[in-house]
Amino acid sequence: MIDHVSLPTQDLARSVAFYEPLLATLGYQRGLYRPGFFCVFNFEKKPEFWLSQATQPFGPLHLAFRAKSQGAVQAFYQVGLDQGAKDNGRPGYRPQYHPDYYAAFILDLDGYNLEAVVHHR
């Protein structure tokens, strides 16, 4: 349904340094990096996630990234914290969504709610 997502950030270089290792835990790779924007490629080598320089971020945002395993969810969470994110939900099952919903949540450097999720045990 969604082809790609773009987030505004107040500090593009800082956000690239945060997102690049974070999304690498889920198998995403560095894409284009030009003045004013940055993107990462998905598993099919297509630009799927973009960051753009802005004067201020927009309101509350929740963005969930697909993970291939629980280990990837755990790595996403830990690398996020190591890069300066804030905890917003430790890795674990979320049976309120469905029995096999395993996810972790962090708040990025601009305060966006990021999630890594896998839908199988």
CATH number at 73 reads 3.10.180.10
Residue numbers of the domain that contains 75: 5-118
Give the pLDDT of residue 56. 73
pTM: 0.89
Give the pLDDT confidence score for residue 2 in this predicted structure.
74
23: CB partners within 8 A, 6+ apart: 40, 49, 65
Q: How many domains does the chain have?
A: 1
The rounded distance, in Å, linking the Cα atoms of 16 and 43 is: 19
Give the residues of the chain that fall short of pLDDT 50.
Answer: none
